[in-house]
Amino acid sequence: MFRAVLAVVACGLAAGCTVAGAPSAPEHPAAAGSPTGAPFVYVTGKGGTNEISQFASLGSGALRPLTPPNVATGEFPYDVAVSPQGTSAYAVDNLSNTAGAVSQYTLNPATGKLTPKSPKMVASAGVASGIITISPDGKNAYVPSGKAISWYRISLATGKLTPMPPRTVAGAGSPIGIKVAPDGRYLYITSGTQCLVPRGSKGSKGSKCTASAKSNTVSVFRISPATGALSSRPVQTVATGQNPQMITIAPDGTSAYVAASTIWQYSINPATGKLTPKSPAAVTGGGNPHDLAVAPDGKNLYVVNVSGGTIAQYAISPATGALSARPVSTARTVPVPEAIALSPDGKNAYVTSEHKGALSQFAISPVTGKITPLSPATVTAPPHGSLGVAVTP
């Protein structure tokens, strides 16, 4: 699940917040033509608050709240995503045990502020898993919903969503994580269920645990370049680790990584989109890996570990895309971390917390990829916790 929160702290725009113990000079000022405060960061506030907190970033990547600091969402917002054009944002709402929706917003690229579109929400095909992915051209969005994938066409003129016929996902598991390939030709989705056999039991053939193992998969769907429609069936389904969560894809589209009980890694055939496990098929995680993100330069993978309360950096082989056997650096996060987002220049990471009203913020070395907490290490977030975080392109 995604968790995180923000509302933010004190470091005014002229304060020049930096890495802990470092001088106060900005490390990467806004690029020419970028608005003051960009990139902007958005975090969903779950439960009692039901809102998106919105932030501007300082030169160091540290965050400050916009005015107003929050905008309303539907019930229990989970994930949040920004369009590739940086002009719209979408939050997935779990309205009840039987219904879900996507809240849609116009994003002012000059100020970062969100304004609800009309209509404010568009229904999903069922109870959403909470995750949303947008195609690289900004024309389509996909949301796992029960045993289906909700599909929306996005108007390039208005950013508004139009529901399209959903695609049913067969198999024992339910869709969880979802990602469109960088070239927009294939969609990857993780499916799984919790193993219900008591700890210490070996289980048996036909047990819920065995069924769970069979449901831990990654499915690959072809995307129509003309319409955005998904293939009627997956072009491939492969096994993955126990309790799979999020999936991410390297910027060059040649590798995929899945957060499960361990970190699974696959090579991607650029012609067919099909997956082949790398050697080794998985590397050790740091305690319930949940979300993960590849650096824009493709050199490192960053993984959020829920029970470990850490963010871990894995080096990526430039030749094979394989991960280092162990993290090359780690840093503490807020308790029960949930989601991660990187700045478009790869110099900052932001990690949410499901249970705490704080968001962790980090600097990333452009040379080594090492993670270092900023000063302050956290910013204030919605008090009930948050599940999703997104950064403008």
Q: Which CA distances in Å does 125 have to 44, 144, 157, 305, 381?
A: 21, 9, 24, 30, 30
Sign for the CA dihedral angle at 187, 305, 297, 342 comes to: positive
Give the residue among 239, 229, 341 at the shortest CA–CA distance from 282. Answer: 239
Specify the 3-state DSSP secondary structure of 114.
strand
Instruction: Assess whether pLDDT exceeds 90 at residue 206.
Output: no
- For residues 194 and 172, the answer to whether their CB atoms sit within 8 Å is no
Mean pLDDT of 341-356: 96
Cα dihedral 185, 41, 43, 263, rounded to 10, equals: 50
Specify the 3-state DSSP secondary structure of 48.
helix
Cβ-Cβ contacts under 8 Å for 186 (sequence gap 6 or more):
180, 220, 221, 222, 223, 235, 273
Euclidean distance between CA atoms 140 and 163, whole angstroms:
10
Q: Which residue has the tokens 């040379």?
A: 367
Q: What is the pLDDT of residue 169?
A: 81
SS (H, E, C) 78-92: EEEEECCCCCEEEEE
Helices (H), the chain: 208-215
For residue 170, what pLDDT band results from cuts at 50, 70 and 90? confident
Q: Which of 163-177, 185-199, 252-266, 356-370 has the lowest mean pLDDT?
A: 185-199
Euclidean distance between CA atoms 91 and 390, whole angstroms:
10
- Residues in the chain, total: 393
Instruction: Assess whether pLDDT exceeds 60 at residue 217.
Output: yes
Euclidean distance between CA atoms 331 and 48, whole angstroms:
30
Rounded to the nearest angstrom, the gap between the alpha carbon of residue 289 and the centroid of all alpha carbons in its chain is 13
Percent of the chain with pLDDT over 90: 71
Strand order in the sheet with 101-107: 77-82, 88-93, 101-107, 114-123
Top-confidence range, 9-13, 220-224, 305-309, 380-384: 220-224
Rounded to the nearest angstrom, the gap between the alpha carbon of residue 72 and the centroid of all alpha carbons in its chain is 21
- For residues 5 and 381, the answer to whether their CB atoms sit within 8 Å is yes
Euclidean distance between CA atoms 302 and 236, whole angstroms:
26
Instruction: Assess whether pLDDT exceeds 80 at residue 347.
Output: yes
A 10 A CB-CB count for 301 gives 27
Strand order in the sheet with 329-332: 289-294, 300-305, 310-315, 329-332
Average pLDDT of the chain to the nearest whole number: 86
Q: What is the pLDDT of residue 382?
A: 81
Cβ-Cβ contacts under 8 Å for 31 (sequence gap 6 or more):
345
Euclidean distance between CA atoms 239 and 233, whole angstroms:
17
Instruction: Assess whether pLDDT exceeds 90 at residue 157.
Output: yes
User: What phi and psi values does residue 213 have, to the nearest 5 degrees?
Assistant: -60, -40
For residue 172, what pLDDT band results from cuts at 50, 70 and 90? low
Strand order in the sheet with 275-283: 247-249, 255-259, 263-268, 275-283
Which CATH number is 18-197+206-391's, of 2.30.30.30, 2.130.10.10, 1.20.1050.10, 2.60.260.20? Answer: 2.130.10.10
Cβ-Cβ contacts under 8 Å for 199 (sequence gap 6 or more):
none
Angle at CA 181, nearest 5°, toward 365 and 106?
80
Entry pTM: 0.87
Q: What is the pLDDT of residue 352?
A: 96
Q: What is the pLDDT of residue 14?
A: 30
Instruction: Assess whether pLDDT exceeds 60 at residue 54.
Output: yes
